[in-house]
Amino acid sequence: MFSGRHMFTNRSGAMDGILIMTREMMSTQLCRFLGWALGVAALGGLVLGTGCEDSLGEGETGKIQVEPATVAFARVSDGETATRTVRIRNSDAETGGALTVRGIELVEREGRTTEGLRLVDVPNGQFSIQPQESREFQVEYTSDNDVRRVGGAIKIENSDPNYQDGPLTVDVTTLGNNPDLRISPNPVRFPRLPAGETTERQVDIRNDGEAPLMIFEKPKIEGSEDYTLSFPDDISFEGGLELAERTAEEGSSLITGTLEYRPTESGSDTAEMVVSSNQEAGSTADDPTITRVDISANADAPCILIDSTTKNLGAVPLGGSTTELVTVENCGNETLRIEGVNLAQNSDDDEFSVDLRSYDENGDGELDSPVQLDPGGNDRATFGVTYEPTEAGSDNAELVIRSNDPVQPAATIDLIARGSEGICPKTELTAKVKGVSAQPRPTITAAPLDYIALDGSGSSDEDGTIVEWNWEVLKKPEDVSVRLNPLESDPNNDAKREIRLLTAGTYRIGLTVKDNDGFSSCQQAVAEITAVPNEKVHVELTWTNPKDPDETDDTGSDVDVHLVKMLEGEDQGVWFGTPYDIYFQNPNNGPQGGSNIWNPESPSLDIDDTDGAGPENIQMDDPQDCQWYAVGVHYWEKKFETAYATIRIYINSNLVFEALNQPLRNQKQFWDVARIHWPSGQIYRVDELYPTAPRFTSPTVPQGMSASDLCTSQNLY
C-alpha cells in the first residue's frame, strides 16, 4: 500500500517537495494520524481501535504532565459536592511524539475509601494527545458525615517511557469527615513533690479534625490514686460529649481539665490518662478508640515540656508563608539539655522548615551547641516552624526535639498545613501613647508607665474579610511581664489592644490576622516601642522567685524599693522615716502628694507591686544640687523562698547603674544598694546586706562617696 518514497502535491497538482520516509517513520506517522482520529471519534462518542498498540511506545512518544500533582479537597459540608479539574498535558516539543493514554482509573488506598469520589468526563478507551496539547476530566467529591477517611488515587496508564514500569499515580485527598483527637501536654510530667503537698497541671483535649469528635465517657486515671482529674461543672460527659469540627473562624474545639497530683509517699509515681472516643472509623461507645497519655512524677531527672504536640499552621496561599512558634520548658528537677531540633519527615516538596533563631548563628540548620534549660520552670527555648506551600493540598511533617529527658528522648510534634489558591490578608499595626495627640506609627518612643494603644484595624483582605487577630509579645525588657489587654475605650474590638510600659527598655509586639478562608497573613506586622525615662532620676526595682510557679498571678513575694534624701541635723533622712524616705508607706504619688514631702525634689513611687516580680519605680525630676540620695531594697514579705532583686538607675534617660540578681533569702532582709550624687549623676555602689531592716537609721557614707571630692550641701563627709 505504501512504498518507501512518497510525493506530495498541492491541490493544483504542482509538486511541493519530496519526503523520503523509512518504513518505521511511515508506521509512526500513520499511528499518529490514527491516534488523532481516535481522539476526535472519542469526543463524538465513538470507540475505535487503531491496531497500533504494539507500535505505539516503540517509536517516538510524548511526555506526560498532570496538573495538579495532588487532587486535594478542602472541607466540604455534609451532602454538598465539590469538583476539581485534572489536566493531562503532553509536554514534549512541538516536533515530538504523541502521548498515548491507555486508561484512567480511580483506585482505593490502604486505610481510605473512595466512597463519595468519582471521575467525570473521562474519555473511553485509549486516546492520544499531541505535543503541547492537553485533555481534561473532573474529580467529584460528595461529602457524607457518616463516611470517614475518604481518599484514593488516580492511575493513568500512558506511553511515556518514564512510566514503563507502572502507571502515573495522582493522589486524591480530602480534609473532611475525620475527627482528630489531640491531648496536650502529652506526656504529662510533674516535678518532685513532698508527700502531702499538691500541685496541678492543665490538660487540653481538643478536636483538630474536620468532623465531630465524640468522647464517650469522662476521661479517667489508671495506675495511681495520687492523681485526680476534674473538669468544670458546665462540662458533662453523660451520654457522651461532642467536640465540634475545627473551623477557620473558631479554630479547634477543646475542653480543659485539671490534673491534680498529691503524693502520699516519696518515690516515683506513674499513671495513665485514658480517653475513649470515635477517633478511628467505626468506633462506637461499646467499641471505642482508646487513647492513653503517660503521667509521671517524683523522678530525679530532666523533663521536656512542649507547648503543644500538634501545630496546625492552617491554610496558606501558594507562594506565601506562615511561621508557628514552638516553646520548650523544663518540667524536671535536673538541667534539660536540648541536643537537636530537626524535621524527621517533610512534605513531598519540603514545604516545612525549621528556624532555630539565635541558637543557629552560623546558619547550618543545626544547634550551635546544646540548649540548656535549668529546672524550676523559668527557662524557655523558642523555635520557629515555617510552611511555604508550592502546590495546593494538605501537607504534613514531623518535628523531633532530641533531649536528655530519659522518658521522652525524642519528643515529636505533628505539623499540619494546607496550601490553597488565594491571597494572603495584609497586616498593619501602629502604636501611640494614650492621651497624646500624636500620629500612630509602627515605631514610637514613650516613657515608663505610659499606656500604649495598639491598633491593627488597618489590616485588610483583598478577597474576603478578616475574622481573627492574633497578638504576640516578641520582645520585652528582662524581669517584667507584659499583658496585652483589650483597649479600655473599645473593649470588644479584637483589632485593638493596649499595654503598659512597666519598665524602661524595648517592647516589640507582633500581629497576624486570619481571613474567612482560613488564610493567615504571610507577613507579621510589628510595633516597636522604646520606653525611655523622661525624668532626671529614675530608680527601678524588679525581682524573681524561681520557686514561684506563676509570677504573673496575684500571689507572690513582696520586695520594696527605697530612696532616701541624705541629711544631717534634726531633719535627718533615715530609712523608713517620713518624709525623707520614699517607699510604699510614703509614696507621694497621689493627687495631694505625701505628708510633708520634701522639696524641691518631690520624688514619687509610681508602682508598688505586692505580689511578685515587680517592677517598682521611683522617679525624681528636680534633684537638688550638691545633694546625695541613698537607694535600698527591703524583703517585706517572703512567700516563695529566695528573691533575686535587680536595681537599675537611669540618669537623664540613660542607664548608668545595674546591680543584678542580689539574693535576698530571709524575710525583712535589707539591701543597701547605692548612692546617687547630683548634679554629677555619679553612682557609688554600697552592696551591703543587713539581716533586718535598719529602721530609722541614717544611710551610711561609704569611702568612695567621702573621697569623691563632689560637692555636698550637707556635712556628710
Least confident range from 199-208, 544-553, 590-599: namely 590-599
Output the CATH code of domain 64-174.
2.60.40.10
Residues 529-553: what's their mean pLDDT?
85
In the chain, pLDDT over 90 holds for what percent of residues? 42
Digit-coded pLDDT (tens) for 554-582: 788 899 999 999 988 777 889 999 889 99
The third-level CATH classification (topology) of the domain covering 300-422 is Immunoglobulin-like (2.60.40)
Of residues 168, 189, 392, 136, the one with CA closest to residue 303: 189
Residues 160-174: what's their mean pLDDT?
89
For residue 305, CA distances in Å to 327, 332, 343, 345, 528 come to 8, 9, 18, 21, 30
Provide the residue type at 307 as one letter: D
Domain made up of 430-531: CATH architecture = Sandwich (2.60)
Of residues 661, 662, 683, 663, the one with CA closest to residue 674: 683
Q: What is the pLDDT of residue 281?
A: 67
In the block, residue with C-alpha cell 541536643: 339
The third-level CATH classification (topology) of the domain covering 178-299 is Immunoglobulin-like (2.60.40)
The residues, any chain, with a CB within 8 Å of residue 489's CB and separated by 6 or more, are none
What does the alpha-carbon distance between residue 582 and residue 588 come to, in Å, rounded to a whole number? 7
Res. 15 pLDDT band, cuts 50 70 90: very low
Residues 450-477: what's their mean pLDDT?
89
Question: Who has greater pLDDT, 75 or 399?
Answer: 399
Domain map (residue ranges) of the chain: 64-174, 178-299, 300-422, 430-531, 537-706
Digit-coded pLDDT (tens) for 210-223: 778 999 999 999 99
Contact 30, 52 (CB under 8 A): yes
Digit-coded pLDDT (tens) for 645-668: 999 999 998 889 989 889 999 999
Average pLDDT, the chain: 83
Q: Same fold for the domain at 64-174 and the one at 178-299?
A: yes
Digit-coded pLDDT (tens) for 77-89: 678 888 999 999 9
The third-level CATH classification (topology) of the domain covering 537-706 is Lipoxygenase-1 (2.60.60)
pLDDT at residue 336 greater than cutoff 80: yes
Res. 407 pLDDT band, cuts 50 70 90: confident
Res. 583 pLDDT band, cuts 50 70 90: very high
Q: What is the pLDDT of residue 549?
A: 78
Q: What is the pLDDT of residue 30?
A: 44
What does the alpha-carbon distance between residue 457 and residue 555 come to, in Å, rounded to a whole number? 36
Digit-coded pLDDT (tens) for 269-288: 889 999 999 887 668 899 99
Residues 346-369: what's their mean pLDDT?
90
What does the alpha-carbon distance between residue 474 and residue 481 come to, in Å, rounded to a whole number? 12
This prediction has a pTM of 0.50
Res. 393 pLDDT band, cuts 50 70 90: confident
- Phi/psi for 145 (5° steps) reads -65, -15
